Amino acid sequence: MSIRSTTGHRPANPAMFALTSDALVNSLIINSTWSVAFAIYNLKHEADASARYGDMKMADILAEVRSAPWLSGSEFNSSPFPTLHSQTPVQQRQRPLNLVIVLEESLGATFVESFGGTPVTPRLEALKESGWWFENLYATGTRSVRGIEAVVSGYLPSPARSVVKLSLSQTEFFTLGELLKQKDYDTGFIYGGETHFDNMRSFFAGNGFDTIVGQQDYTAPSFTGSWGVSDEDLFAKVHEDIQKLHASGEPFFRLVFSSSNHTPFEYPDNRIEQYDEEKNTVNNAVKYADHALGQFIDTARNSVYWKDTVFLIVADHDARVWGDELVPIKNFQIPGLILGADIESRRIKTITSQVDLAPTLLSLMGITSEHPMVGRDLVRFPDQPGRAMMQFNDYYAWMDENYKVTVLRPDQKPLAGAYSRETGSTEYLEDVPEDMAVRKALAHALLPLELYRERAYGLPD
């Protein structure tokens, strides 16, 4: 009971007690004995991550990361935050745009027909003609919290637990919510389930999100399953919320997280033509989630806020990350789409990581800012060679624009290989080539751990 602190089906975590955006108030609510036990539990997961792949001096780590073409011209001059730098949008706007990020649960490329997947996302496939469609986008991990830290914080993956769950990142850790709150945006997280799941409430409340909506905030939802209200109920709440915000004239940012595509795959009857004969399957749940998403975009397009808002639709990770591959790169590919406002149709063919999305969104919104994210602004640097970083269990994979792969392994020599999109497999080489990107991969794997431990991934006061 000391760690669970509940007999409910989800164990307790600080998010259960994050009732306000004030960290001090929230801390007073928590039982001190339980708090100490939870801190010790977290410490184990923080400490285990270090020195798995090899050592590198911090100066060398920073030099390697800062050498990326999209960062090489930036000035890094704030010692408490070694990756803090300025970003200026290509297009200056008289009034920066609003932002809505829709994080789709487990919607990997394996469910997108044009990527060779099961044809259960017809609405998303149709929408791709209306905005920036990412044809080569890769998740950083295999868990929702890994997707959250990448998309919302632009944070690199590491062998440690996600910062959404770790203790030192519950306050004063960079998020788009914190940045946009400083620019007088109304910031919020909207979910259909219990917001304390995966410690989300604590992380968001402590890092810039003013409003947090969960299952308890829905009045008479049309459908409720094991993981909360249906995606249709979720999007109805989102539409109602941002319609009011737009009418008030206040700029807004909303992070929306779907949940219908989650075991046991429960969704309302008579909404879709089922792909599988049996109702409660992953394919049918994905098709329902796609249906609900399409309805929401239809509603948004016919609303006054559409012309002033950028929408990002992206998966947190794939639902099917398994197989006999050392790192199943095929199952890290995810769909991504940016649309709304004056966003034109465009195909993004370069290899892209989830950590590139936030800098790109800020540029499209017309936001001038300082932030610690090391991802690529695809508006300003559309043609630079891309790369993807993927954490799979104890293995860290780095893939460059030419599909050359470097895999860091704990207490073993790195592996080099070549990934084939046609076969979805990686062929590893017996001899390590001289141009193998070991230092680059190692620097990017170690940097997030160093920044986390030093509490150096934030914004100046």
CA distance 296 to 101: 13
CA distance 306 to 318: 29
Q: Is pLDDT of 3 > 50? A: no
* Residue whose structure tokens are 């001096």: 57
Least confident of 66-70, 222-226, 409-413: 409-413
Give the model confidence (pLDDT) of 12-65 as tens digits. Answer: 555 555 555 554 455 445 555 545 555 555 555 564 445 789 999 999 999 999
Least confident of 22-31, 247-256, 358-367, 374-383: 22-31
pLDDT attached to residue 27: 47
Residue 63: helix, strand or coil by DSSP?
Answer: helix
- Domain 85-386, CATH among 3.40.720.10, 3.40.50.300, 3.40.640.10, 3.40.50.620: 3.40.720.10
User: Where does the pLDDT of residue 350 fall: very low under 50, low under 70, confident under 90, or very high at 90 and above?
Assistant: very high
Give the model confidence (pLDDT) of 311-340 as tens digits. Answer: 999 999 998 777 789 999 999 999 999 999
Q: Is pLDDT of 391 > 80? A: yes
Extents of the domains making up the chain? 85-386
Q: For all residues of the chain together, what is the average pLDDT?
A: 92
pLDDT attached to residue 49: 45
Local structure of residue 428 (DSSP, 8 states): E
Give the model confidence (pLDDT) of 422-447 as tens digits. Answer: 999 999 998 777 778 999 999 999 99
pLDDT attached to residue 342: 97
pLDDT attached to residue 46: 62
CA distance 204 to 211: 9
The CA distances from residue 350 to 265, 346, 359, 366, 378, in Å, are 33, 12, 16, 23, 10
CB 258 within 8 A of CB 231: yes
Overall average pLDDT of the 64-75 stretch: 95
Give the model confidence (pLDDT) of 269-300 as tens digits. Answer: 999 999 999 999 999 999 999 999 999 999 99
Q: Is pLDDT of 105 > 50? A: yes
CB 43 within 8 A of CB 163: no
